[in-house]
Structure 1
Amino acid sequence: MKEVSLFRLYALRAVYLLIVVGLALLVWPGILHHSKPWELMEGVVVCMLAAFSLLCALGLRYPLQMLPVLLWELVWKVLWLSLVALPAWRSGNMSQAVLENTIACMVVIVVPLAMPWRYVFDHYLKKSGDRWRLAAN
């Protein structure tokens, strides 16, 4: 298996840092200083983004071990852009909220650029999975 280059590791760290700083500016002030209870979905989103930012902070130290977090980010944003934003844009019914979220989701373009795709293929698709049963004696 080929080793991931130092450049690629720093590219991953840059992506994790971008996410950590972005969410530190956008999400954490609302967590630390919220004055009223959140509605159900607002609370879910805020807590998921907070957890995501903490996992990305861990990615600064362990960029390869935290790749599933970036893969999750890539997949959900591509799905949202494909299934929500694109149809809204095509139909001419893109609201201001959808447009704003579309712009925010477009930042995901940095993830596939930094992703060590050979490593992902070797470790998540090609490599044997963990066993499902007790080992035979």
Structure 2
Amino acid sequence: MDGLNPIPPALQAAVGLVGQADTAMTSIQNIEAILQPLKLFNSFITTLLNVHPYVQLALGILTGVSQLLINQANLDNEMFGLLTTVKDVYKFLMEKDTCANFDSMQEMLQKISREIKDVVEFIIKYT
């Protein structure tokens, strides 16, 4: 271990930022609790028959908006999964055995770097 370089501050910072995904998981679970009534509302509304056209229009708007919120939450869950994968990659890179083999992992590290760069670009476009 004497010949190992210290872990770059940028890598440490990235792991710290991605580590905040644990907090995000709690938020996602809270969002699921909020979305459940919206899902039930959408299911209920589709069973209604013979309502006044204005009521039907208002319920259609409410259903559409709730479906947009549900779709966004699903996309956010998928984004959380992506961030969790990135976090796992950084954790792997910081493992003692991995750090000890950085010199022999040049090609793999280059591939990981390209993939992480693509992920960051995707996340920036998403937000």
TM range, smaller chain: 0.3 to 0.5
* Greater RCO, 1 or 2 (C-alpha within 8 Å, sep 6+): 2
CA radius of gyration, larger in:
2
| TM-score when normalising by structure 2 | 0.36
| TM-score when normalising by structure 1 | 0.33
